[in-house]
Structures are given as structure tokens and as C-alpha cells.
Amino acid sequence: MSFFIGKDREARRAYGFDEVAIVPGAITINPEEVDASVKLGPRKLKIPFVMSAMDAVTSPQTASLMSSLGGLAVLNLDGVYARYEKPEEALKKIIEAKESQATEIVQEVYSKPPKESLIVKRIKESKAKGAIVAVSTVPQNAARYGALAARAGADYFVVQATVVTAKHVSDNHHVLDLKELAKKIKIPLIVGNCVTYGAALELMETGAVGILVGVGPGSACTSRQVLGIGVPQVTAIADVAKAREAYLKKTGRYVSVIADGGMANGGDVCKAVACGADMVMLGSAFARAQEAPGGGYHWGMAMPSRYLPRGTRVRVGQTGSLRQILFGPSLRHDGSQNLVGALKTCMGYVGAKTLRAMQMAQVIIAPEIKTEGKALQLSR
């Protein structure tokens, strides 16, 4: 739907999670009988939850734990685990930094370069208990770390930056060819982030098994403020999901759409799937786990940049174990615990037996803001 923002200048209206809601179905299903498993490339995962490639969330230990719980974690090969022998000390500096100095200290901590030996070590640590583990890096390092990660035993390789396209142009630098990379490394590739139909389609054509969707929506992200760039998640997910269907029809290959960022609670997770996502990648929601290395804090991977820091360190608190956040029992009514239960309950109300069916749930536009205002008024 296009509107004129100026003379002869059209723009689409895009929507975010807070602007939509899911409509219950005419048939309901017992939530204990719905199936929330998902296929990602060659493997099936019990739950469609991915732990973000953020240092406050995914350590070798939490990656291992996440796999044992049925989900997938992405370990960041550009993060503190690859930069420090003793990452605990680096994390401590960030956690204990004063509010006003957080950006500077994060920049300092991340100024130490990663070591290849540490990368190998961390992958092996996370795989120690037989876990399925993904690792990520930025496009600049992808060619180098890709082979390394594959050899060290990583199960998925994620190439991730604020915006990634299949066609990057540079006269001066060598440009990463994703198609070539996908062929060369022997493990399944996941790429992103993107937010449009066209860009997603081209990324699918590189051979990736998963596409990360989300530019500018996360709680630890300020891309829109700094760069003006961003597409709210409902529209981004729906557009990329449409690209998935078109690509599936054309090629017969199913590429998973992984919503990344902007999901604060169970409701947002349900909406992401209802808009077409196959999986959801969460940062701050898992940063609240007692096991999370961020110790109650969370920060984005664009924050350390000296050039253009985007994102901030936010206090998220520690509210329960990772298991509790995923499966309950829940002591919180804000939708931050038992995310799998919330998804299954929603599937039941919608009458969707599988995630694939849930992607066709009816969604309405329904701004949330005012009801909240009223609730606050009453709770005083």
C-alpha cells in the first residue's frame, strides 16, 4: 500500500510488531498436540529458537546448552571469545562500566584483535558435549574464517552484517562472493541481514539455507537513529517470506527465514511466525538468562565500532534459567518466560498444527499503545 510522502514521491507503509496482533482461529487445537519443530538446511531442530551472535548471550557454554534444549546458538567469531584467552575478564569490564562510559569501554575491549587459535578452541568447546553449533562472522572475514570454522567442526556458518547483499561493489577491496563461499565451505551457510524481497531472493540464490531478516529493529540497536536505515519487522518478514515462497516454487528448495531482532516477548515471537518466519533469533530475551555471559546486561555487535557505534549497552536483568525462559514454569506475566509454551498456546488458539500452518494465521493491524496507557492508569 503506497502513500504519497511528497509530490510524485510514493512510499509504502511498513509495520512493526507493536502495530499488529494475531486473530484467534475459528478452530482451536489442544496446544499440547501442536508441532513447533523446524528444518534448517539438513537438520531438524526441536524448537525454532536461535540465540543471537552476541557476546552477552552466546558463549561456548550457552551455545552447548541451547543445543541440548532443542534450539540453536550462534557463536560470534569476531567477539570476545575469539579475542581473549580469558573472556570473563573482558566481559566483566563491560558489565561493570558506568553508564556514561559504556560505549568507550566496549570500544576499548573490542580493539584487541581476534586470534585464529582461539576461534578453533571456542568452536571445540561449544561442540564438546555433542552440540549442534553455528558460528558467525562479518563478510570481510568470511572467506578466512569459513574454512577454519568448517574444519573445527561448526555445523552452520553465518555471514552477518547490518546489511548484506549478494552484490557488494568496491573498486579497492576484494569483494566476498557468497555463492563461491557457499560452495567452498562444506557446512550450510546462513546469511543476512536483509529486509526486502529482492535482496532476499538474491541471497537465496547464493545457496544459503537460512536468511536473517531485520535491519534496525532490535532493542540494543540504533541503526535507524544513526543511519536512518531500517524496516519494521512485520513488513520485512512478510516480504522475505514471500521471496521464500517464490524461490521454493521456482527451485523446489526451501530456505528458512530467520527473524532477527525486535522481539521482546512471547507475543512478538508468535507474531514473527504468523508473519511468515520459520525461526526467531533473540538477543535480549536470552540475555536475561542466568547462564548468559552478559550478567544481566546486553549489547549489540555494532556498538564496539569506533567509526560509527550503533546500539547501546542495556540493563536487562536476570530473570530465570534459559530452560525457564524457553519452557517455563513462568513467574512473569510479561511474556518473557516460557516462550515455547507461548508459541504453542498461540498455535492452539489459531488452530495451526505446524509452524508452516501458523505462517498463514490471520493478522490484524491493531496499535498497542493506548491499552498500555490505560493499564498503567489503573495500576497506580
The footprint of a copy of itself on residues 325-344 (CB under 8 A) is 328-335, 338, 341-342
Q: Choose the binding region for a copy of itself from 54-62, 86-94, 170-178, 318-326 (rule: CB under 8 A).
A: 170-178
Nearer to a copy of itself, 176 or 187 (CB): 176
Among 33, 85, 89, 180, binds a copy of itself (CB under 8 A): 33
Contacts of a copy of itself in 346-365 (CB under 8 A): 346, 349-351, 362-365
Q: Alpha-carbon distance 324 to 330, whole Å?
A: 7
Instruction: Kindly identify the residues of this chain, within the stretch 90-129, that bind a copy of itself according to CB under 8 A.
Output: 103-104, 107
DSSP letter at 113? P
Q: By C-beta, is 56 or 152 nearer to a copy of itself? A: 56
Is the link from the previous residue into 172 a cis peptide, with omega within 30 of 0? no
Residues 6+ apart with CB under 8 A from 252: none
Q: Select the residue interacting with a copy of itself from 53, 316, 322, 355 (CB under 8 A).
A: 316
Please calculate the CA angle 206-356-133 and round it to the nearest 5 degrees: 55
Interface with a copy of itself in residues 273-292 (CB under 8 A): 274-276, 284
Closer CB to a copy of itself, 45 or 215, in the complex: 215
Binding mask 37-76 for a copy of itself (x = CB under 8 A): ----------------------------------------
- Residue matched to cell numbers 547501546: 312
CA distances (Å), origin 199, targets 13, 206, 212, 236, 325 = 19, 11, 11, 11, 33
Just list the catalytic residues: 221, 306
Contacts to a copy of itself from residues 200-259, by CB under 8 A: 202, 215-217, 219, 222, 224-232, 234-239, 241-242
Chain center to CA of 374: 32
Separation CA 324–CA 341 (nearest Å):
10
Chosen residue from 117, 198, 248, 251 binding a copy of itself by CB under 8 A: 198
Cα dihedral across residues 265, 270, 274, 279: positive or negative: positive
